[in-house]
């Protein structure tokens, strides 16, 4: 599992990294000394877990979590014990008091591993494939739609717009939620605003700064973010 260590103390970061070296399945891919650095690294590198200090210069650990779009599994590390209750209100999987003890660290990592495994199993069971049919209602209009015919999903305020045939109804679901339900082998998150059905891609062209533009069979043009361009190339290559 990929991990990031966030602590304003360099000594504390180094000590935790030293302890984590004893866990073969944990790969520390980065570290940060404050919330600003941490936010950038977390949203760019998408770690599985973050070891997060609470009291830091500027924004604290809780404020950082409130700003994140992508939230990994969180293990708080702090010199104080008065934040424990609040930490679990933020869905932390564990709360380690400094100096961190190896046995407590092992227990925390075990909790993350079990949580990740259970979620992956549930995720696999709950995914909807292109062969599934869904009920869509927009105002007085209703459809039964096979997901294979949905060529794109797009954010529209607090709703998501579905593109199929010549229809574009809106449903009261977030794009993040729908992404969690759809088969990633068929539906690809192109950017913050859009998910596309890969079977509806007509052609691809290079775009700005190493990104790509995708032209859909329905006529839509989709700009793929630079980060997702790399993921797209990996997904579509041998």
List, in sequence order, the alpha helices (H) in the chain.
Answer: 10-20, 35-45, 61-67, 84-89, 102-126, 175-181, 226-236
Whether residue 126 is predicted with pLDDT greater than 80 in this model: the reply is no
Q: What CATH number belongs to 2-126?
A: 3.40.50.2300
d(CA 93, CA 87): 9
Query: 219 is written with which tokens?
Result: 């006529």
Burial letters for 150-185: b for 16+ Cβ neighbours within 10 Å, e otherwise? bbbbbbeeebbbbbbeeeebbbeeebeebeeebeee
pLDDT in tens, 22-58: 999 999 999 999 999 999 999 899 999 999 999 999 9
Whether residue 198 is predicted with pLDDT greater than 80 in this model: the reply is yes
Residue extent(s) of CATH 3.40.50.2300 domains in the chain: 2-126
pTM across the whole model: 0.55
User: Which residue, chain included where needed, has tokens 């997904």?
Assistant: 235
CATH 3.30.2350.10 fits 133-236, yes or no: no
Residue extent(s) of CATH 2.40.50.1020 domains in the chain: 133-236
CB 32 within 8 A of CB 61: no
């Amino acid at each position: 599992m990929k991990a990031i260590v966030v602590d304003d103390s360099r000594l504390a970061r180094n000590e935790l990294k030293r302890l984590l070296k004893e866990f073969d399945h944990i790969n520390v891919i980065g570290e940060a000394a404050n919330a600003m650095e941490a936010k950038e690294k977390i949203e760019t590198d998408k770690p599985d877990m973050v070891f997060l200090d609470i009291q830091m210069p500027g924004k604290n650990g809780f404020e950082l979590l409130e700003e994140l779009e992508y939230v990994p599994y969180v293990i708080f590390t702090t010199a104080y014990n008065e934040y424990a209750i609040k930490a679990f209100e933020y869905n932390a999987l564990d709360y380690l008091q400094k100096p961190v003890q190896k046995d407590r660290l092992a227990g925390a990592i075990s909790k993350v591993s079990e949580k990740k495994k259970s979620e992956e199993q549930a995720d696999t069971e709950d995914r909807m494939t292109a062969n599934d049919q869904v009920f869509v209602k927009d105002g007085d209009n209703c459809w039964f739609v096979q997901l294979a015919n949905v060529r794109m999903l797009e954010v529209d305020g607090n709703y998501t717009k579905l593109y199929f045939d010549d229809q574009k109804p809106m449903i009261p679901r977030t794009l993040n939620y729908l992404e969690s339900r759809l088969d990633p082998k068929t539906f690809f998150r192109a950017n913050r605003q859009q998910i596309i059905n890969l079977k509806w891609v007509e052609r691809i062209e290079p775009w700005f700064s190493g990104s790509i533009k995708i032209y859909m069979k329905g006529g839509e043009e989709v700009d793929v973010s630079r980060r997702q361009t790399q993921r797209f190339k990996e997904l579509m290559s041998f």
